[in-house]
């Protein structure tokens, strides 16, 4: 998309292009720039969501580790105190 934008900008700067062609290309340039901005915003949102998910994963892994340690401790207590 960035390459398409660059080509359109180069074409718009071309003095040999007709006014109508330059106007059409300028319109396309505006559309592409808006689309790039939208994509950048979406990417930022996805990165934020990914970071939040990774943080939540770390929290849940820590909880799991704590629970596994507790289970191990309880199993050892049961093994050492047979009734």
Tell me the per-residue pLDDT of 14-40, one tens digit each, with 9 for 90 and over: 667 788 887 888 899 899 999 999 999
* pLDDT score for 52: 98
9/37: higher pLDDT: 37
Tell me the per-residue pLDDT of 36-73, one tens digit each, with 9 for 90 and over: 999 999 999 999 999 999 999 999 999 999 999 999 99
Residues 47, 41: Cα–Cα separation, whole Å = 10
* pLDDT score for 9: 72
Given its phi and psi angles, is residue 54 left (phi above 0), alpha (psi -120 to 50 degrees) or beta? alpha
């Amino acid at each position: 998309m960035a390459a398409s934008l660059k080509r359109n900008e180069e074409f718009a700067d071309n003095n040999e292009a007709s006014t109508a062609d330059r106007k059409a290309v300028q319109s396309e340039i505006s559309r592409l720039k808006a689309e790039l901005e939208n994509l950048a915003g979406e990417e930022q949102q996805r990165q934020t969501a990914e970071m939040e998910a990774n943080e939540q994963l770390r929290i849940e892994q820590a909880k799991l580790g704590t629970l596994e340690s507790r289970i191990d401790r309880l199993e050892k207590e049961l093994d050492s105190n047979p009734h």
